[in-house]
Amino acid sequence: MIAQRTQNHVFSPIQSILHNTGSITLQSVLKNRMDSETLSRAQKLDPHALTIIHNELYPVVYRYVRYRLDDEQTCEDITSEVFLRFLTALDTQRKSIQNLQAWMLGTASHLVFDHLRSHYQRPVEELDDDTLVSPHLPEEAVEQAWQQQEIRSSINKLTIEQQHVLTLRFSEERSLEETAQALGKSIGAVKILQFRALAALRKFLTGHSKRGKSGHSD
C-alpha cells in the first residue's frame, strides 16, 4: 500500500509525516524519490518540493539533534538551521547533493559539534544538583536524567566522527549499510569506528562512574 502510494507520488506533506514512522523501507523509498525528482525541483526552489523535503526530513534531523542535545529549544534552532543551510547549499554548491538525508545529518553533526564547542568556550556557572533536577521528579526519573546527562557528556568527549557514528547507529537504529552510506565509508570501516567509539565511551563512562562514586562517598 505504502509502496504503491510512493510510486504514484500522491503523498501530501502531512501524509508524508504520518507515514514517516521510521520504517527503513519507506525511508529508503522516500530517499530515492527525493534524490531523483524532488531534489531537482528543489534546486529550482520549487515551494512544493521544498515542503516535501522539509516535512519528510525534519523528524529525522530533529531526532538526530535531540539525541545529542537535551535542550529542546536548541534542538529546534539547530534543526531549523540545517534546513537553511540546505537552501544555501542549493544556491552555492555546484555539485548536486547525492544523498540528501546523509548530507543533512552530516550538517547537523557539525552544527551540534560547533554548538558544544562554543558552549564549552563560554563556560556557564556550574549548576548544583538541585538546579539540574527538578525536585518534583520521582527518584527514578532523577536517576535516569543523571545517567543521560553523563552519557551525553561522555559522547561529547568523542571525536566528531565517533559521535556521528554512534548517533547514526543508536538514535534511530540505522543499519551498518545505511551508516556507511551516510558516512561515505565502507562497512568494515564503520565497524571499526563503532568499536572504537564504544570503547572510548565506555572509558569515559567508567571515569564518570568512578568520580560519581567517589563524590557520593565524600
Partner 1 sequence: MDTLIKALDDCLEKIHSGATIDQVLETYPELQEELRSLLETANAAKSLRFEQAIPMSTLVRSRSRFLYQAEKMVNARQNLHWGSSFRSSAVLVYGVIICLVIVLGTGIASGESIPGDIFYPVKLASEQTRLFLENNPVARISLEENYDRKRAQETDNLMQRERLIETTFAGFLTSKERDQWAVAGIQVVFPQNLQSLAEEMRGKYIEVKGHPQSSGIFMVNDIHARQFEITGTIDTIQPDQWIVSQMSLGVTSNTLIMGQPVIGGDAKLTIIRTEDNQLIAISIQALNSNHNDGQSATPQPTHAIRPTIGALSSDDGSDTLHKTPLPSRKENDPAQSLIETQQPTRQNKGVDQGITNVQGNSAPPSDNATPTKENTPSHNESDQGPKPTQQEKDPGHTPQPGAPYDSDH
Closest distance of CB 125 from partner 1, Å: 25
CB of 42 or CB of 102, closer to partner 1: 42
Choose which of 5, 19, 33, 152 interacts with partner 1 (CB under 8 A): 152
Report helix, strand or coil for 172.
coil
Three-state SS across the chain?
CHHHHHHHCCCCHHHHHHHCCCCHHHHHHHHHHHHHHHHHHHCCCCHHHHHHHHHHHHHHHHHHHHHHCCCHHHHHHHHHHHHHHHHHHHHHCCCCCCCHHHHHHHHHHHHHHHHHHHHHHCCCCCCCHHHHCCCCCCHHHHHHHHHHHHHHHHHCCCCHHHHHHHHHHHHCCCCHHHHHHHHCCCHHHHHHHHHHHHHHHHHHHHHHHHHHHHHHHC
Q: Per CB under 8 A, does 161 bind partner 1?
A: no
Q: Contacts with partner 1 in 41-60 (CB under 8 A)?
A: 45, 47, 50-51, 54-55, 58-59
- Copy the grid coordinates of residue 92: 552555492
Contact letters (x/-) for partner 1, 164-193, by CB under 8 A? --x--xxxxx--x--------------xx-
Contact letters (x/-) for partner 1, 90-129, by CB under 8 A? -x--------------------------------------
Q: Per CB under 8 A, does 155 bind partner 1?
A: yes
Distance of CA 17 to CAs 7, 84, 140, 143, 202, Å? Answer: 17, 20, 33, 33, 36
CB of 3 or CB of 18, closer to partner 1: 18
Q: Which stretch binds partner 1 (CB under 8 A): 27-35, 84-92, 95-103, 104-112?
A: 84-92
Choose which of 2, 17, 89, 160 interacts with partner 1 (CB under 8 A): 17
Q: Contacts with partner 1 in 122-141 (CB under 8 A)?
A: none
List of residues contacting partner 1 (CB under 8 A)? 17, 45, 47, 50-51, 54-55, 58-59, 62-63, 66-68, 76, 79-80, 83-84, 87, 91, 144, 147-148, 151-152, 155, 166, 169-173, 176, 191-192, 194-195, 198-199, 201-202, 205
